[in-house]
């Protein structure tokens, strides 16, 4: 019992020291720099077009777990569910020459990509699903990005704990061939749990980047003025890494 007390005290002192480092300016800078080093290493070692693994249809998980919002009740969302998303609109705006407003029909008529991929949650679990939708690059090319555009922001219909969900990626992930605006999971329209009627697939990053209940795609030059400036809901709220390929 004494030994456990000693261990606990030593552990607490060590943790207090770590927290002191993390709370200092230099410590905080070091911790966020480490994320950039990983991103740099990944980008150096991995071709920008390199694909995340794709699986045969038979590998699909029997159930696709949903995390975060699973049944949004805020704003117009419940009405859209009742209407079967007949009046859902996706806008592509911001630093573009040709802003778009698309219905689900418009989106289903574009050339489609279907991919069976694995979804990795930051918590640690994984599930495999078959996703279908147009590549984001198609929409961005149609909207004609302005040269100042550096990031693509995804706006979402769900309000979680009082804040609107959003996410963002840089142009490398935005133009990645597997980055699609998915409307189907395993050949069926997306369930509400998994982001109906539209969600992003950012296959080389963790699950929280794959924005659900997608309402708008916005090209921006900087993330500083979006939300609280960290590039995403969980990044703002809890300090999650913006680059979620780690």
Partner 1 sequence: MTKHVLSTRIWHWLNLLCVVVLFMSGLTISNAHRLLYWGDWGFDRSQAWLEVPRFPDWMTIPGYYSLAVARDWHILMAWPFAVGLLFMWIAMLVNRHFKRDLTTSRREWRPKAIWRDIVEHAKLNFDHGEGKYNFLQKLAYGLVLGLFLPMMVFTGIAISPGMEPTFGWFVDLLGGRQSARSLHFIFAFAILGFFIVHVALVLLSGPIGQMRAMLTGGSTHEA
Residues at the contact surface with partner 1, assessed by CB under 8 A = 8, 11-12, 14-16, 18-19, 22, 30-32, 34-35, 37-39, 42, 45-47, 50-53, 55, 59, 61, 63, 65, 118, 120-128, 203-206, 234, 238-241, 243-246
At its nearest, how many Å lie between partner 1 and the CB of residue 8? 5
Give which of 205, 53, 36, 236 is closest to 121, Cα–Cα: 205
Distance CA 61, CA 185 (A): 11
Q: Which is nearer to partner 1, 88 or 234 (CB)?
A: 234
> 185 and 195 in contact (C-beta within 8 Å)?
no
Q: Which is nearer to partner 1, 38 or 108 (CB)?
A: 38
At its nearest, how many Å lie between partner 1 and the CB of residue 193? 13
At its nearest, how many Å lie between partner 1 and the CB of residue 79? 31
At its nearest, how many Å lie between partner 1 and the CB of residue 232? 12
Q: Residue 114 forms beta bridges with which residues? A: 132
Q: Residue 185 forms beta bridges with which residues? A: 131, 188
Q: Which is nearer to partner 1, 86 or 246 (CB)?
A: 246
Q: Which is nearer to partner 1, 87 or 126 (CB)?
A: 126
Q: Which is nearer to partner 1, 115 or 241 (CB)?
A: 241
Give which of 149, 152, 103, 110 is closest to 133, Cα–Cα: 110
At its nearest, how many Å lie between partner 1 and the CB of residue 9? 9
193 to each of 8, 68, 189, how far by Cα in Å?
A: 41, 9, 11
At its nearest, how many Å lie between partner 1 and the CB of residue 182? 17
Q: Which is nearer to partner 1, 61 or 112 (CB)?
A: 61
């Amino acid at each position: 019992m004494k030994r456990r007390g000693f261990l606990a005290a030593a552990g607490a002192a060590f943790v207090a020291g770590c927290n002191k480092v993390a709370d200092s300016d230099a410590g905080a800078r070091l911790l966020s720099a480490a994320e950039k080093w990983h991103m740099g290493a990944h980008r150096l070692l991995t071709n920008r077009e390199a694909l995340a693994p794709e699986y045969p249809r038979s590998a699909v998980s029997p159930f696709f777990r949903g995390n975060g919002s699973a049944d949004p009740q805020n704003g117009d969302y419940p009405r859209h569910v009742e209407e079967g998303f007949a009046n859902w609109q996706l806008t592509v705006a911001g630093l573009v020459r040709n802003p778009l407003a698309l219905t689900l029909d418009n989106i289903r008529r574009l050339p489609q990509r279907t991919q069976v991929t694995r979804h990795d949650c930051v918590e640690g679990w994984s599930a495999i699903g078959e996703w279908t939708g147009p590549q984001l690059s198609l929409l961005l090319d149609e909207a004609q990005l302005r040269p100042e555009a550096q990031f693509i922001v995804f706006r979402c219909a769900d309000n979680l704990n009082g804040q609107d969900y959003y996410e963002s990626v840089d142009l490398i992930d935005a133009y990645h061939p597997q980055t699609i605006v998915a409307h189907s999971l395993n050949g069926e329209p997306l369930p509400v749990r998994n982001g109906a009627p539209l969600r992003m697939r950012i296959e080389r990053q963790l699950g929280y980047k794959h924005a659900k209940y997608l309402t708008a795609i916005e090209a921006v030059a900087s993330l500083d003025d979006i939300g609280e400036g960290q590039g995403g809901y969980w990044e703002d709220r809890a300090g999650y890494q913006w680059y979620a390929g780690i």
